Amino acid sequence: MRLDDKVCIITGGAAGIGKATAACFAQHNAQVIICDVDQAAGEKVASDIGGEFFLVDVGDRQAVQEFIDQVVGKYKRVDVLVNNAGVLRDGLLVKVKDGQLVKQMPEDDFDFVINVNLKGVFNCTQAVTPFMIEQGSGVILNASSVVGLDGNFGQTNYVATKAGVVGMTKVWARELGRYGIRVNVVAPGFIATEMVQAMPEKILSGMKGRTPLNRLGQPEDVANAYLFLASDEAAFISGAVLRVDGGIVIGT
């Protein structure tokens, strides 16, 4: 049991990679607490794995602080935080037709993605860190993406957040290491989550074709990476970026 009795928080745990990570951690005897904005799905996941669910918008700073305070009040510690929650609002920076500007990425779409994917990671980490410092240990795992490292067409907002998460991870690894806290980031490639599997077959085939291992990753592939980094087997790993992408390099 690689996470025996460790208290683990997973944001965005109602579906996809978060759901798979919650199940993986529970199988390794962790006390799993998930949060999400999808209450019905989140409660089902928590029930299935014997964990606990909280309805939380990670972009809401006060709600995050109240959530973390409740968890610490009940369990007296937090050993692992997985900042998994994320959203998409894809679109071109500008769209031009016949030399004329016809569309721009809406400011609301940019702000929404920043608020969840970047500020949400900041909110959750800042709320949990004082408790980890007090207990003298902790692991923080952040979700980036290969597009945060390589860029991607039509994803200005999403790429900005995922690149920012990598940068924050490296800063926090430096700042928090002295307190026994490790901070790492996982960068998935094309993963067969529920959202991805709903895409047209032509797009899915293109994703597979661009991946050297010639398949989509499974949520469990990423969950296993989180499991390793959360465990004591990764005790001397901090500030690292682990790609879980089948060897892909995003092109133009």
What confidence tens digit (pLDDT) does each residue in 27-41 have?
999 999 999 999 999
Residue 189 counted as domain residue: yes
Residue 49 counted as domain residue: yes
Instruction: pLDDT band for 8, please (50, 70, 90 cuts).
Output: very high
Q: What is the CB neighbour count within 10 angstroms for residue 129?
A: 21
Based on DSSP, count helices (H) and strands (E) in the chain, helices before strands: 10, 9
Q: What is the CB neighbour count within 10 angstroms for residue 103?
A: 12
Beta-bridge partners for 232: none
What is the sign, positive or negative, of the torsion defined by CA atoms of 40, 24, 186, 82? positive
Q: What is the CB neighbour count within 10 angstroms for residue 209?
A: 9
> Which residues contact residue 219 at a Cβ distance below 8 angstroms, ignoring those fewer than 6 apart?
16, 17, 19, 20, 21, 191, 192, 193
pLDDT digits (tens, 9 = 90+) for 66-100: 999 999 999 999 999 999 999 999 999 999 999 99
Q: What is the CB neighbour count within 10 angstroms for residue 246?
A: 21
Instruction: pLDDT band for 151, please (50, 70, 90 cuts).
Output: confident
Residues of the chain with pLDDT > 90, as a percent, come to: 86
Instruction: pLDDT band for 252, please (50, 70, 90 cuts).
Output: very low
pLDDT digits (tens, 9 = 90+) for 199-230: 788 888 888 888 889 899 999 999 999 999 99
| Closest residue by Cα to residue 166 from 71, 83, 49 | 83
Residue 249 counted as domain residue: no
Residue 251 counted as domain residue: no
Residue 241, SS3? strand
The torsion angle over the Cα atoms of residues 173, 62, 115 and 221, rounded to 10 degrees, is 50
The domain in which residue 199 lies consists of 7-244
| Closest residue by Cα to residue 58 from 30, 94, 86 | 86
- Residue listed under structure tokens 């087997």: 233
Q: Which CATH number covers residue 168?
A: 3.40.50.720
Residue 24 counted as domain residue: yes
Catalytic residue among 75, 158, 179, 226: 158
Residue 162 counted as domain residue: yes
The end-to-end CA distance of the chain, in Å, is 43
pLDDT digits (tens, 9 = 90+) for 93-141: 999 999 999 999 999 999 999 999 999 999 999 999 999 999 999 999 9
Residue 142 counted as domain residue: yes
pLDDT digits (tens, 9 = 90+) for 159-202: 999 999 999 999 999 999 999 999 999 999 989 888 788 878 88
| Closest residue by Cα to residue 228 from 247, 178, 220 | 220
Residue 207 counted as domain residue: yes
Query: What total of structural domains would you count in the chain?
Result: 1
Interval 222-250 mean pLDDT: 95
75 is catalytic: no
Q: What predicted TM-score, i.e. pTM, was given to this entire model?
A: 0.94
